[in-house]
Chain A
Amino acid sequence: MRRVNRNERVRIALTLNGRKLAAEAEPRTLLCDFLRHALGATGTHVGCEHGVCGACTVLVDGVATRSCLTLAVQAEGREVKTVESLAALDGTLNPLQQAFRDNHALQCGFCTPGILMSFTDYLSRNPRASEAEIRDVLSGHLCRCTGYAGIVAAVKDVTKSSP
């Protein structure tokens, strides 16, 4: 049984984008804040902090998860992937990111990391997703710039090139 008392700060170890890392957190520390402030992974953006906007979506053990609705201690021992994991080390964008660039699927880019991580999970389960399915997944995100059309077009591009 794992127990952390309210004002205790404990070491939380997890795998972030393939690297084993650890830092201190209180029980109430949200995963999004832990990633950004304790581990310095600021690619994950924090919007509404109550699970509505989707900006903070990351993968926990491969599954798209709201990091603002997850405690850091809940991710203990888990494999977390954030937007930093997508591009190659030399900065080459992955196909989903490249499709976003090609289709003007972002403007300010605040919501983009979460949307990319959602579709990274969803397309791994359903690589030939239909437009209706894409729109359904996108309903879990808010974007105030694009009107969503570019995002749908970008994800459709990726599904078309899927074997």
Chain B
Amino acid sequence: MKPRPFDYVRPDTAEEAVALLADYGDDARVLAGGQSLVPMLNLRIVEAEALIDISRIAALDAIRDVGDRIEIGAAVTQNTLLAWPQLAKKLPLVAAALPHVGHFQTRNKGTVCGSIAHADPSSELPLALALLGGEVVLKSQRGTRVLAAKDFQKDMLTTARAGDELIAAVHFPVTSGSGVGFREVARRHGDFAIIAVAAVAEKKNAVRLGVGGMAGKPVVRQIRSDNAADAIAAWAGELEGYEDLHASAAMRRDLFRNLAPLVIEEAIRCAA
């Protein structure tokens, strides 16, 4: 339950961090809050030649309102975002989802970008980013790329980040005025969700619905709210779900069929 040895490097700037990543590449891991990475190091599921600790880089510890989207830097913790006074107004879905991310104690250190980087299929923040059509900003010495959430997360714990790239920030599109709904089923509050369902009601009769925990990554679909029950049933059939210790695939599909109508209703009610 102790990690294997690794080099520890704490750069002072994002440029230094990117230079270190250019040297180490895949052999390094970026450490921000460490709430997903350090358990895996302790359990020796993950090995690293080096940890690059970005948690003290002030330029990455910023929430910026850039008009139609909110940029959240790589060192911003989940509780910092939760305490951001504009959160409920600008990003109501994130405000609804964040209290389900881990526990108070892990949100104190765990970062928003770190959760998205970890790419657990049932995590709340990757689901919110995918549903809202957000973006991930990747920096390397080769330049900066901005990837749509759907292109960033490839599969379970797998992303499009190259070994020399730093996730510098994520962009959540502002959704002031749209109705949102979020619910999940977990063994205990704060545990990983068995499944999580989120919805945004943007236009009349149309809802964007997203589900985490049913596939290797969050999946999103636009459905008509007047025909929601049929659309949900059809989609649940297409999404096979997967088995693990906590739930069978059939139970996951069943949870989705039961949760989705509630979440859609919540989103529509809160839009009205």
Contacts and interface: CB of A to CB of B under 8 A. Distances in A.
Interface stretch (A3-11, A83-91, A155-163): A3-11
Contact of B9 (A3, A28, A136, A139): A3
B42 A66 contact: no
A54 B105 CA distance: 8
Interface string A115-132: 000100110000000000
A1 B10 contact: yes
Contacts of A23: none
B43 interface: yes
A70 B109 CA distance: 9
Given A27-B51, A69-B35, A136 B4 contact: no
A79 interface: no
A64 B39 contact: no
Contact of A66 (B55, B99, B109, B188): B109
B4 A2 contact: no
Contact of A50 (B31, B42, B103): B42
Contact of A28 (B3, B104, B105): B3
A114 to B, nearest CB: 8
A30 B34 CA distance: 12
Contact of A136 (B53, B55, B109, B189): B189
B5 interface: yes
A6 B104 contact: no
Contacts of A54: 103, 105
A122 B102 CA distance: 16
Provide the main secondary structure of the chain A interface: mixed
Contact of A1 (B7, B11, B41, B109): B11
Nearest to B40: A50
Nearest to A3: B9
B155 interface: no
B16 interface: yes
B2 interface: yes
Interface in A22-50: 26-28, 30, 33, 49-50
A30 B7 contact: no
B7 A27 contact: yes
A51 B34 CA distance: 10
A68 B102 CA distance: 16
Given A30-B2, A139-B188, A66 B106 contact: yes
Interface string B30-71: 010011001101110000000101010000000000000000
B42 A49 contact: yes
B235 interface: no
A73 interface: yes
B51 A70 contact: no
A57 interface: yes
Contacts of B43: 50
A69 B34 contact: yes
Contact of A139 (B2, B10, B109, B189): B189
A30 to B, nearest CB: 7
A65 interface: yes
Contacts of A50: 1, 38-39, 42-43
Given A50-B42, A69-B39, A70-B109, A139 B7 contact: no
Given A49-B42, A65-B109, A139 B103 contact: yes
Given A6-B7, A28-B6, A49-B2, 12 more contacts: A3-B8, A3-B10, A4-B9, A27-B7, A27-B8, A28-B2, A51-B38, A64-B105, A65-B109, A70-B109, A71-B38, A140-B102
7 contacts: A1-B16, A26-B5, A50-B43, A63-B108, A64-B108, A73-B10, A137-B103
